[in-house]
Structure 1
């Protein structure tokens, strides 16, 4: 009976991660790459900081509810500076990732972001003086090769403008990866020095991200433009709310999976769901991939899967949006 209930719980966790983040990915592409309005009067959603503000606000509220009801983790003595620093890099990572979608396809963003272990390992060696087993370097090298192969351009029939735009999108993805690496480095320091818990991290990082992004959208005037956009296109409100809710609920299933089955199981689930997210984007939005890119995608996720199974390193309990 215990064994059966464990399998059911595992299926629930896996289903929750797959469904929430698949829906999250579909809405992210719809919001950032789609158009709103009637034919002849369509406009793009360009309010990236406002999008991240809403997402972090929902995440904060969700984390607060979870800590008060389900996941009580006691007192938190982590230094505020650590939370503020990690939330700043976390925020910049999300903003860069969302902005990149205005210049590159969603599969490119997912595969590019799959290279997160690269900056995490480099910064771990340079800043944290960590030592990794040789197989870890081999798995990450596999990811590097796959990402490079995926984003390689043949330069056939492209205009100068298109090349520049695609180059800028890839630069944003690179910046997002660097920010992810810095976030991971600060989180490792928080764990080593203060034994920081995942729920407290989610709560406080999203709190500071709301402060930072809220300040930006108020000072820049983006908040008022964002509100006017929602008034012109009310259907975007539902997209934003459901997008943020799917991300917050997905994080809950990640935390639950780590707590019940360990980081290895969670890492395998999140790696697998990203691969199927790429497939979903191809099927739903017509983001066709070249044969070379399909091969690169398999290489990248093979490296991620092998790293999850045999990398033997500590996992940061945070899913990148992606």
Structure 2
């Protein structure tokens, strides 16, 4: 049983790595690319619409899976839990995407590696979790690394005015807070109702599509987005493949959450971001200063140490390692 659990966790981790590496490269291309010629260039700014399409594809993927290969029976989880977690999940994605308008993609990725911090804090406050001392030490390493990366060595930071950088970092902080709330609610769902991965993916994305759909219709963003696609039809393919990669990646994420809990999942997703940072540097020509490289090394050292000491005990329910 122990071997099968390790193999399943490894399989989920590999799925998350592959799908979200492709997802991350497309995300940077969509949100930070220039569209049109030099005289009439513009950027993609329709973040709620992008999230709406992403959640809609995820919902259809989950619905199809539950009807075919992933039959998981009845779901006893209250709709209130799904609605709350969907709202925080939606806000986390929107804030993260909006931050890319003000900070570089590697900065966004490193900032988001701080996800275990709100997961731990809110796990203690809301989920009454108990963590070992070494967990706090490893997370402290992550905090130090992120601080070294962001504050503030020049390099990529000079590409944006200081006020815009600060606003982008605020959006990342809000995104991390929403991530922590989402994980806290998911942990409650998992412990109280044994919520399954397919049901979580279906309902959270369904509610998120409803919320984001209402926003883009009431604000008029959807119609502006359609006009953008008419001016730049190649974007349709980018958004389609972006959403499909996200759907498969999210399937592996919810599978990991349902079987091993939110914290092991957050460790896997933050570790894969190291390779996304490298991909962004190699493919899109982003550069890091020496201090930012040191911060990156410290961040992922803390995450790796945490993973090595906790993965064998991830199945425990009362003490999350």
TM-score by length of 2: 0.88
Contact persistence 1:149–1:293 (CA under 8 A): yes
Give 1:128's aligned residue. Answer: 127
Offset at 1:229? 0.6
- Partner Cα separation in structure 1 for residue 316 and residue 20 of structure 2: 19
Give 1:40's aligned residue. Answer: 39
Offset at 1:124? 1.5
- Partner Cα separation in structure 1 for residue 272 and residue 107 of structure 2: 15
Deviations 1:70-90 (A, max 9, x none): 221110011111100000000
Offset at 1:178? 0.2
Contact persistence 1:268–1:309 (CA under 8 A): no
Give 1:226's aligned residue. Answer: 225
The answer to whether structure 1 residue 304 and structure 2 residue 269 are counterparts is no
1:265-304 equivalences under 5 Å are 270-304=269-303
Q: 1:301 to 1:42 in 2, by over 3 A?
A: same
Aligned positions, number: 311
Q: 1:262 to 1:187 in 2, by over 3 A?
A: closer
Contact persistence 1:48–1:98 (CA under 8 A): yes
Deviations 1:58-110 (A, max 9, x none): 00001111111122111001111110000000000000000001111111111
1:130-149 equivalences under 5 Å are 130-149=129-148
Partner SS state of residue 40, structure 2 = coil
- Partner Cα separation in structure 2 for residue 308 and residue 161 of structure 1: 35
Contact persistence 2:35–2:232 (CA under 8 A): yes
Deviates more, 1:272-281 or 1:78-87: 272-281
Offset at 1:267? 6.4
Give 1:108's aligned residue. Answer: 107
Deviations 1:100-134 (A, max 9, x none): 01111111111111100101111112222222110
Gaps of at least 5 residues in structure 2 are none
Partner SS state of residue 161, structure 2 = helix
Partner SS state of residue 103, structure 2 = coil
The answer to whether structure 1 residue 26 and structure 2 residue 25 are counterparts is yes
Contact persistence 1:109–1:173 (CA under 8 A): yes
Gaps of at least 5 residues in structure 1 are 317-322
- Partner Cα separation in structure 1 for residue 63 and residue 154 of structure 2: 49
